[in-house]
């Protein structure tokens, strides 16, 4: 990923936020000598500098076959929004752009095919996404056929060997332009625009703090 110095984030807390914001990302590898992507949720964990992602495919998905020999890419997709030059101090001297936050996680995955390990993985995913629901679904309490269906998935663990985090939030513009863009985004409406404006505000405050 192209990451100019203005937009590069080295604090892994920014990655933590992206993973918490939206853990449904894109896993990219090679299948039959061509790029291949699967969109899936992952469990995210970080111990110091070590980032680990865990998830699974449907067994018919060809991506898992031979993937342990590859270095793959997982993409976290954060909020994003169009930014108009109309919102800057000097609109005629600027051009449109797109602000966004994203992270690329690289590593070599390890397959998980043991039934008990897969059961723990599915249960952990359910626990994360069911949250505190009073009737939260749990694998062990569901139909016995669901346990047998674990043979229809293949799990993976991806321990990152490189992480790139990019927050493109008008850091290369004067503060007045960034402030104008934030106001424009908030006036536009929508969750992505509002969240992008909030991240821009944080980035601007970090610039202004000695």
Q: Is residue 192 part of a domain?
A: no
Please compute the mean of the pLDDT values over residues 182-205 and round it to a whole number: 97
Q: What pLDDT shows up at residue 15?
A: 98
Q: Is residue 176 part of a domain?
A: no
Q: What pLDDT shows up at residue 143?
A: 66
Count up the domains in the chain and report the number.
Answer: 1
Q: Is residue 150 part of a domain?
A: yes
Model confidence pLDDT, tens digit, residues 52-87: 999 999 999 999 999 999 999 999 999 999 999 999
Of 34, 25, 122, which is closest to residue 77 (Cα–Cα)?
25
Task: Name the residue range of residue 151's domain.
Answer: 5-170
Q: What pLDDT shows up at residue 131?
A: 78
Between the CA atoms of 166, 168, 23 and 56, what dihedral angle is there, to the nearest 10 degrees?
-50
Please give the residue that has the higher pLDDT: either 148 or 176: 176
Q: Is residue 184 part of a domain?
A: no
Res. 91 pLDDT band, cuts 50 70 90:
very high
Please compute the mean of the pLDDT values over residues 5-30 and round it to a whole number: 97
Model confidence pLDDT, tens digit, residues 106-161: 999 999 999 899 989 998 998 888 877 777 666 665 666 666 678 899 999 999 99
Q: Is the pTM of this model over 0.75?
A: yes
Please give the residue that has the higher pLDDT: either 208 or 101: 101
Q: Is residue 137 part of a domain?
A: yes
Q: Is residue 206 part of a domain?
A: no
Summary count for the chain: helices (H), strands (E):
5, 8
CATH number at residue 29: 2.30.110.10
Q: What pLDDT shows up at residue 210?
A: 63
Please compute the mean of the pLDDT values over residues 35-44 and round it to a whole number: 98
3-state DSSP percent of the chain in helix, strand and coil, to 5: 40, 35, 25
Q: Is residue 189 part of a domain?
A: no
The mean of the pLDDT values for the chain is 93
Q: What pLDDT shows up at residue 75?
A: 98
Is the Cβ–Cβ distance between 102 and 166 less than 8 Å?
A: yes
Q: Is residue 205 part of a domain?
A: no
Q: What pLDDT shows up at residue 68?
A: 97
Q: What pLDDT shows up at residue 146?
A: 63
- pLDDT at residue 94 above 80? yes
């Amino acid at each position: 990923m192209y990451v100019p110095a203005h937009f590069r984030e080295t604090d892994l807390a920014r990655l933590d936020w992206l993973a918490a914001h939206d853990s449904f990302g894109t896993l990219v590898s090679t299948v039959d000598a061509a790029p291949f992507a699967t969109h899936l949720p992952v469990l995210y964990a970080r111990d110091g500098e070590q980032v680990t992602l865990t998830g699974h495919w449907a067994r018919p998905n060809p991506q898992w076959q031979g993937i342990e020999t590859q270095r793959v890419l997982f993409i976290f997709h954060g909020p994003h929004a169009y930014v108009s030059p109309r919102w800057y101090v000097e609109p005629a001297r600027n051009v449109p752009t797109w602000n966004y936050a994203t992270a690329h996680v690289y590593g070599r995955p390890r397959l998980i095919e043991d039934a008990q390990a897969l059961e723990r993985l599915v249960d952990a995913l359910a626990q994360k996404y069911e949250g505190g629901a009073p009737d939260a679904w749990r694998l062990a309490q569901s139909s016995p056929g669901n346990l047998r269906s674990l043979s229809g998935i293949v799990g993976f663990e991806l321990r990152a060997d490189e992480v790139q985090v990019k927050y493109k939030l008008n850091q290369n513009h004067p503060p007045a332009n960034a402030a104008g863009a934030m106001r424009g985004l908030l006036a536009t409406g929508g969750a992505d625009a509002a969240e992008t404006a909030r991240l821009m505000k944080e980035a601007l405050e970090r610039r202004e703090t000695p």
